[in-house]
A = this chain, B = another copy of it.
Amino acid sequence: MINVIIIDDHPIVVDGMRQLIDAEPGMRVVGAAMNGADGKELLKSTPADIVLLDINLPDINGMELCEYIHRHYPALRIIALTGFKEYFYMQKMIHNGASGYLLKNAMPEEITEGIRTVYGGGEYFSDEAGNVIRMHREKGGIFLTMRETELLSLIVEGYTNREIADKLFLGVETINSYRKNLLLKLGVKNTAAMVRLAITEKLV
């Protein structure tokens, strides 16, 4: 029996997953949390095999939580379950210990198959995610570093330096440096042009 924990702040998604997994023979949902803090508590009290982890959580970043889980519960296998289809997130989650990456528009069969594959020790990426990862892996040249890409995404989403600093627990001056460096690397002179480039060139 594969025991699954869900950490996701969308009640509807949690309900849907629960129904899907419980209906599947050989696996069941043993707990669910709607934020990072509850998630950590849940992990402490409830032994499980698989964690389905959202990236968008109200209190902490899912990617950090992924790293935390991987460090504190190395035996636990993590599958990212998110709407983000940007390579950046996949790269980061895998780097932080995730063994699978499921997009929320994945078909139910993909989800159960993913759980089984990852439980068996493998890696699993849902169709679209797999394509994106393959595309980038052969191209290789990501000329922005991970941190830079991360910063860029946050800028594109409209966060100010102050907000980004708080979110990442860094100094404002640090964010400033990154921002200036991004302008330099991308060869643009202001945020507006950078955002446009980031979107049209799919850098995020």
Contact = CB atoms under 8 A, between A and B. Distances in A.
Interface string A4-39: 000001111111110110000000000000000000
Size category, A interface: 20 to 34
A15 B190 CA distance: 36
A105 B11 contact: yes
Is chain A's interface secondary structure helix, strand, loop, or mixed overall?
helix
A129 interface: no
A11 B106 contact: yes
A4 to B, nearest CB: 13
B11 A12 contact: no
Contacts of A199: 195-196, 199-200
Interface string A122-160: 000000000000000000000000000000000111111
Interface of A: 9-17, 19-20, 83, 104-108, 111, 155-160, 188-193, 195-196, 199-200
